[in-house]
Amino acid sequence: MRPEKPAAADHVDVDHIAEAARLERTADLYPEDAEQLLLQAAAHLELAGARDRATTLYDSLLSPSAPHPPSSPLLIRALKASNLWEYGHEAEARAIIDGVRAASPREPAPWVIVAESLESHDELEQAHATFTEAVTLLLPVTTTEPPYATHPLLFGRHRVRRLLGAEHDDWDAMADRVSTASISLDELHDPKRVWSLGSENPAELRAEIARIQAELGSYREALSRPFPVAVLHWPSTELTELLTAYPSLTSEYPSHEAHLSTIESSLRELSSSGTPNLGIVTGTVPSYEAFAASEASSPEDSTLLPQYATTLAARGRAVSWPPEGDGVCWCGSGQTYSSCHGATADPA
């Protein structure tokens, strides 16, 4: 599982080198978003086979002289290790992987990347040990609803244990429970599947096609799974700056007060319709401009606004709505939510 893999990675017409260069230029213009932009650039370079250049980008993000300390240094180290191993630097990759494991990340992504790297190089015992360390740290077996971000840990561990011929345990049962595939994980992760691809038996081939289709369906569901449904919030100063720079967006935001009311009423409407996992993301003009540049579009394009909100939510910037208990209102007024936008009367 490689986060932020370019959406068009498999498109034969993509010039990954050119796309990486464009993202690097954008990162120079918008340091606040440099980390995400450079990680995407590195992914393009890996897809283009320019793995040494991808390593240089990872090193620049980890450098003490970087303009901003990385938000996820262990994730970057894991990506660097995976990349290094792919072009012959096994010893260095192993050393970094050992360091990531020793640091015991509290987020799933670094664990998944190093474990899958070990798995892809047939280090099944070490991959299993890594997956197990991660689930032991992040997922007590008593967990009833493991967070979605941890599902790749459960599925990866199940897959490796199937290859090793291990008996099911509590975490395998948890993986089975959260899987939404139309066939069981035992079938999806059956080591004998690869043999059936060479079979001349039509029944075996049809069964394998059904399994592959189910697996692809699971991947598509994961890729299309919505991030927390997040509504974009502009603080007063940011909205003023945005409308000064891009006056055509005034039709979207006639006033700051109307903007705040629209946020609350939209979220209430979504909630009443049964939409779960609602949140609010706060925008900034430089971040929005960087996003527009990454989409090769103009910030004046209002259709970018919901996409920008989704991207912020995907980066973990969403704040849950409504605030818990008598928490502070999301609008920044400093008042409690119940006495501000959470008042009983509909603010719209």
- Say if residue 157 is in the same domain as residue 82: yes
For residue 252, tell me if it sits in a domain: yes
User: Pick the residue with more confidence: 142 or 236?
Assistant: 236
pLDDT tens digits for range 286-306? 888 887 887 778 899 998 898
Residue 53 sits in the same domain as residue 130: yes
Report the DSSP pairing between strands 278-282 and 319-320: antiparallel
DSSP string, 113-178: HHHHHHHHTT-HHHHHHHHHHHHHHH--TT-SS--GGGHHHHHHHHHHHHHHTPPP-HHHHHHHHH
In a domain, 5, yes or no: no
Check whether residue 187 and residue 171 sit in a common domain. Answer: no
- Give yes or no: residues 305 and 196 share one domain: no
pLDDT of residue 125: 94
Structural domain boundaries, residue 239 = 229-339
pTM for the predicted model, two decimal places: 0.58
> Is residue 196, in this structure, part of any structural domain at all?
yes
**What pLDDT score was predicted for residue 49?**
92
pLDDT, tens digit, 9 for 90 and up, residues 115-135? 999 998 889 999 999 999 999
Average pLDDT, the chain: 83
Tell me what pLDDT residue 222 has: 46
Q: Tell me, yes or no, whether 62 lies in a domain.
A: yes
Last residue of a domain, one of 191, 225, 259: 225
Q: What is the pLDDT of residue 53?
A: 95
Q: Are residues 126 and 54 in the same domain?
A: yes
Give yes or no for residue 276 having a pLDDT over 90: no
Q: How many domains does the chain have?
A: 3
